[in-house]
Amino acid sequence: MTTYRLDLSYDGTGFHGYARQPGQRTVQGELETALARVVGKVETVVAGRTDAGVHARHQVVSFAADRPVDPEILVRRLNGILTDEIVVFGSSRVEDSFSARFSATSRTYRYTILNRSFADPLLRSTSWHVPDSLDVAAMQEAASALIGEHDFASFCRRAEGRSSVRRVLDATWGREKDLVELWIMATAFCHQMVRSIVALCVEVGRGRVPAGRVSTILEALDRSAAKGAAPAHGLVLWDVTY
């Protein structure tokens, strides 16, 4: 068996998330169907499962195959099978111990908000339109309270038997003209964590929640204490480091 790493990007608009699901079109389903035609049936391991509508600039997948293939040929053949919604831009043979998920040391996400009175049809699938005025400095104060290791139960969908303790390495809000963006890096994220952080920070930016309350919400360990989740389409898995 030979272990391979794939580096890919995708537009998540037309997929029901990354993870394979019966009767649903998913990134994993499309990728593994294409892989089966090139190297035989395999099961992939992914750096970060993305939800329906979430995009990836740089996703990483690993798999083991009993049929060797040249990495350059693998990239070319996969891209010839896949639609242009998924693009494989790198492939390499790696050590058998390599896991796209467990070998990763951090993941970085970007969330984009279009912050002006009118929407932009060219950005509708990659940003959340928020027409209200946003105080980005207050949003940064709110995000800064989340840096470090915490139990993010207030910001995650509960997964029975799984810990919601995560370590956030950096969280930075910035504005470039009409675009307000969050860049957030953590060793790992739990389900809907980034989107929930964005939703609460936007409420802070609107002036509806004081930035100082974020620590209290975090400590509550109660999903109902936060403010739901921002739309999926504004979120991009930006990078994975090893």
Positions marked active-site:
51
Separation between Cα atoms, residue 216 and residue 37, nearest integer Å: 52
**Lookup result for tokens 């390599």:** 98
CA dihedral 169, 98, 85, 14 (to 10 degrees): -70
CA atoms within 13 A on the CB side of 188: 17
Distance of CA 61 to CAs 133, 194, 210, Å?
Answer: 39, 21, 40
From the CA atom positions of the chain, what is the Rg in Å? 19
Say which amino acid occupies 12. G
Burial 54-93, CB ≥16 within 10 A → b, else e: bbbebbbbbbebeeebeeeebbebbbebbeebbebeebee
With 0-12 CB in 10 A as exposed, 13-18 as middle and 19+ as buried, what is 198?
buried
